[in-house]
Amino acid sequence: MQNLNNIQNFYFIGIGGIGMSALARYFNATGKKVAGYDKTPTVLTRSLEAEGIQVNYEDEVGNIPQEYSNSNTLVVYTPAIPKDHKQHHYFIDNKFEIQKRAEVLGLITKNIFTLAVAGTHGKTTTTAILGHLLKETGAKVTAFLGGISEDIQSNLILNGNEVMVVEADEFDRSFLKLSPNIAAITSMDADHLDIYGKPEELLKSFRDFAALVPEDGILFVKNGLPVAGKTLGIEDDSSYAAINVKIDNGAYSFDLRTPNTILRNLKCFLPGKHNLQNAITALAIAIEYGSPTDQLAGALYSFKGVKRRFTYRIKTKDLVLIDDYAHHPTEISAVHQAVREMHPGKKVLAVFQPHLFSRTKDFVDEFAESLSRFDEIRLLDIYPARELPVEGITSRWLLGKIENPNKKLVVREDLSAEIKDSGCDVIVMMGAGDIGEMVPEVEKNMSHEN
């Protein structure tokens, strides 16, 4: 592998992915020439183009810039691309240097003090809070985020290169390429069984990740996880714990007990106990890194959140629309807890787009149980992403498992009308597919009716 500093051009296959686009932005900001392919234009790819990155949307070899040769170019790809991808095969046949996104991120972290957050849920919000805390308290930090921070409207924080914050992704065992000095594991629920086969293999992968932390490093774990490390929790005996937790004007007010002291009067504006846990994790890592503790309360107070992580699109006395990335039963349950806590007594409609046939098949009973807790449920068709359909695995099959009778299958074209007809006070739209692209139109129609 060449030294990244000596490479002039970077070409990304799947540049519109959240992790890929952060890398593309990083190399573009450091003066490299960056281009790439993605299947369809999105808000994210258009923002990359606005930053001067060339993006093409047809898988044709002729769309690769002519000046990109095998001697001056590194090709970065996502494992989600199809096996018959023409551009990918062109790069292979012409002996270009080709690396997975995780391998490139691993090379970047190798020589920089790295703070890595892993977990099947919570890692995106935690890395965003952590990057924000470090930046606001003066650290020279670069942070690769798995979501768009509302504070900077980007998934990349560039504020120097003394410390790096990365989201450690368990998909395809990507996080095993990293070199973390301080790491955290937020959760280890079964997921990605299309990759791992069985939950035990996923747990082994997390233990392998934990083993990457050097002897002079620190590993944090959510209290109760089967991995040894400094524990994190809420109102318990953890090494770092939120205590005296109250809800004050829609925000969590709490104190943080650390091994050495108590930080008082902290506020977190992100709804849900899962987000309070994310904030505790970010605070603990920042403290152990050496952030000035007297500035952390102000930094946390100013954090605005991550797009599609319990994002309020409408929030009035009579009507609420929430957009969330939840695509796993545990995440749906966390959203349910948050919405009941923040909007007690309100009638809540869940609109859910299942993500992947394999995940729907593996967790159908858990999905049915978590969705049944809402007052009403509307299901969209399964978003296939990288997968081909599986016979019998459909949203109608999932719908049949949901015990709540107030349920219905809907198509995209009828969604706004269905939401209006439900008469619910709070609407939560959840999923990791393209449901996020449906939210603006729903918001527009709801605002118009309101």
- The owner of tokens 């978003």 is 383
Predicted local confidence at residue 249, as pLDDT: 78
Task: Kindly report the backbone phi and psi dihedral angles of residue 428, in degrees, each rounded to the nearest multiple of 5, phi listed first.
Answer: -115, 120
C-alpha separations of 320 from 283, 313, 344, 378 in Å: 30, 8, 12, 16
142 assigned to a ligand binding site: no
**Tens digit of each residue's pLDDT (9 = 90 or more) over 18-40:** 889 999 999 999 999 999 999 98
What average pLDDT does the chain have?
A: 92
pTM for the complete prediction? 0.84
pLDDT, average across residues 71-79 = 91
Q: At what angle do helices 43-50 and 18-29 cross, to 10 degrees?
A: 0
Instruction: Give the separation between CA 260 and CA 206, rounded to whole angstroms.
Output: 28
The yes/no answer on whether domain 4-99 falls in CATH 3.40.50.720 is yes
The yes/no answer on whether domain 311-448 falls in CATH 3.90.190.20 is yes
Nearest CA among 134, 128, 129, 130 for reference residue 295: 134
Give me the sign of the Cα torsion angle 62, 63, 65, 69: negative
Q: Would you say 165 and 144 are in contact if contact means Cβ atoms under 8 Å apart?
A: yes
85 assigned to a ligand binding site: no
Distance from the Cα of residue 231 to its chain's centroid: 22
320-324 vs 311-315, strand pairing mode: antiparallel
Instruction: Give the separation between CA 82 and CA 102, rounded to whole angstroms.
Output: 18
- The owner of tokens 């695509």 is 327
122 assigned to a ligand binding site: yes
In DSSP terms, which residues pair with 243 in a beta bridge? 255
124 assigned to a ligand binding site: yes
Q: What is the DSSP letter of 380?
A: P
Nearest CA among 165, 170, 266, 288 for reference residue 220: 288
Following DSSP, what letter does each residue of 396-414 receive, concatenated? Answer: HHHHHH---SSEEE--GGG
The number of helices, as runs of H, and strands, as runs of E, in the chain is: 15, 21
123 assigned to a ligand binding site: yes
Predicted local confidence at residue 111, as pLDDT: 87
Q: Parse the chain into domains and list their residue ranges.
A: 4-99, 112-302, 311-448
154-158 vs 426-430, strand pairing mode: unpaired
**Tens digit of each residue's pLDDT (9 = 90 or more) over 352-375:** 999 999 999 999 999 999 999 999
146 assigned to a ligand binding site: no
Question: Domain spanning 112-302: which CATH class is it, in words?
Answer: alpha beta
132 assigned to a ligand binding site: no
**Tens digit of each residue's pLDDT (9 = 90 or more) over 378-435:** 999 999 987 889 999 999 999 999 999 999 999 999 999 999 889 899 999 999 989 9
SS3 99: strand
pLDDT, average across residues 318-332 = 92
**Tens digit of each residue's pLDDT (9 = 90 or more) over 77-132:** 987 788 899 999 999 999 999 999 888 999 998 889 999 999 888 889 999 999 99
Start-end of H helices in 173-310:
193-196, 199-210, 273-289, 293-301
Instruction: Give the separation between CA 9 and CA 91, rounded to whole angstroms.
Output: 13
Using pLDDT thresholds of 50, 70 and 90, give the confidence band for residue 170.
confident
Predicted local confidence at residue 4, as pLDDT: 86
Task: Kindly report the backbone phi and psi dihedral angles of residue 14, in degrees, each rounded to the nearest multiple of 5, phi listed first.
Answer: 100, 40
**CB-CB neighbours of 425 under 10 Å:** 17
